[in-house]
Homo-oligomer: A and B are copies of this chain.
Amino acid sequence: MSGVRLERRDLLAAVRDPALDAINFLNEIIDRYPDAISFAPGAPFGGFIENIDVSRYIERYIDYLGKAQGLNAAQIRRRLYQYGPSRGIINGLLAEALRIDEDITVAPESIVVTVGAQEAMVLALRTLCPGPDSVLAVTDPCFAGLTGAAKVLGIETAAIAESDAGIDFAAIEVACRHARAHGKRIKAMYVAPDYSNPTGMLLDLQGRRRLLELAAREDFLILEDNTYRFTAAHGGTLPSLKALDRQERVLYIGTCAKNCMPGLRVGYVVADQKVVDEQGKMRLLADELSLVKSMVTVNTSPLCQAAVGGLLLEHGGSLSAIGREKAAFYRRNLAHLLDALERHVPLRMREARGISWNRPGGGFFVRMTLPVPADFALVHQSAREFGVLWTPMRNFYQDGGNREIRLSCSYLTEDEIDEGTRRLSGFLESLPFGEAGLVPQQR
């Protein structure tokens, strides 16, 4: 008897969306070209995982549970090894870190500890956008994990153009009007105001205030993704949207992947919005997200939470302090990449081929425009023939970005950046002239 054959078209449509492959692409491509220098992954620099001692962090947290919280050995074991609350166990330490680092004051119970920022996004999207009348506004381009989650959940999105200069506020108003005209509503907007992935955009203070005003006027919530915020120069950060938020309009989503380590899979979301239930009683949006989380992953591994807790305790309770040395490294790397591009991709090559790139002030990424469409076939060609890897950007766009590539500086040493940029220059030199040049080539 032969096995059942499922038709892919009978499964969730999102699995046929090429954009869903983006993260797997990032994670797996390095293994396929071991000798290539890779500007592809947004993963943390390998040097930062050399001195990790997870056992020590967990021991530090256990010590804290005993001394500061007065738990006995059996209670500590239950906290770490058994099931636990969906909301999390290190919420108090995270609330304290937000107060120290960001001047954000929230109650521990308004935080939900999640399996990375990805699950935080899934919980927020699923809870806030329940039906066909719900629309999620997203920056365009956008972190593919966010738009991918919306696709998996079947949530309609409205694209709001984002550039180095900021986001298109007029487009937000248009999207709100358009939704209303179709009996729908923009329920929330996703934005990463500090060196977004992949744009590198830093939203200025005026833009932040304007976005909050717009959210109040049009009555939507903001999903603020702080993933790359820690890369800003020390003392040089603008206030986060959440710190400026006087209306509890902002859900603040964070990850411990970049500033601690990805292998812990710990993130969090601040959801201090008040929810009025059917009996007029007040709840927190975090209560609702916790309920949904109990049906998605039950709870975040308390061992992984304990490791983050121990890291926080080792760094005076500050997430910024955990990431400070890393932030300096990433800033140096970004400056080095921009400098290497100036040196290895000469002006005549840029002008002849219509090659250009942006110059962000933080984050992990530089965005480059090629003379030809950049697809997965081209990145494989680049790896095979020139030994250099990068990420095609079309999967970050709702519709467009065909000629853009993303260069990440996070995973490489300065020497690798130099050599990688030299190889990239060879690759760019090999490209046929595109729209901006002479012969548009069919690929």
CA A264 to CA B84, docked complex, whole Å: 11
Can you list, as one digit per residue, whether each of A294-324 has a CB less than 8 Å from chain B (1) or not (0)? Answer: 1111111111100100000000000000000
Chain A 228-283 residues near chain B, CB threshold 8 A? 246-249, 257, 261-265, 272-278, 283
Binds B, one of A121-129, A378-386, A418-426: A121-129
Binds B, one of A4-12, A97-105, A352-360: A4-12
CA A78 to CA B41, docked complex, whole Å: 13
Given A82-B44, A126-B152, are A297 and B298 also a contact pair (CB < 8 Å)?
no
A interface residues, Cβ below 8 angstroms from B: 1-16, 20-21, 23-24, 26-28, 41, 43-44, 46, 49-50, 52, 54-55, 58, 74, 77-78, 80-86, 115-116, 118-119, 122, 126-128, 130, 145, 148-149, 151-152, 219, 221, 246-249, 257, 261-265, 272-278, 283, 285, 288, 290-292, 294-304, 307
What is the distance, in angstroms, from A234's C-beta to the closest C-beta of chain B? 25
Given A24-B86, A148-B294, are A301 and B5 also a contact pair (CB < 8 Å)?
no
Known: A8-B277, A23-B298, A145-B295. 20 other contacts (CB 8 A): A4-B219, A5-B275, A10-B130, A12-B127, A13-B130, A14-B292, A15-B127, A15-B291, A23-B86, A26-B83, A41-B83, A49-B81, A54-B58, A81-B262, A82-B263, A83-B263, A115-B298, A118-B295, A263-B303, A265-B298
Q: By the criterion CB–CB under 8 Å, are A294 and B23 in contact?
A: yes
Given A11-B127, A298-B116, A304-B303, are A20 and B263 also a contact pair (CB < 8 Å)?
no
Number of copies: 2
Chain B contacts of A257 at CB under 8 A? Answer: 83
Q: By the criterion CB–CB under 8 Å, are A296 and B296 in contact?
A: yes
CA A122 to CA B302, docked complex, whole Å: 21
CA A273 to CA B7, docked complex, whole Å: 10
Q: By the criterion CB–CB under 8 Å, are A81 and B261 in contact?
A: yes
CA A314 to CA B261, docked complex, whole Å: 27
What is the distance, in angstroms, from A113's C-beta to the closest C-beta of chain B? 12
CA A9 to CA B131, docked complex, whole Å: 12
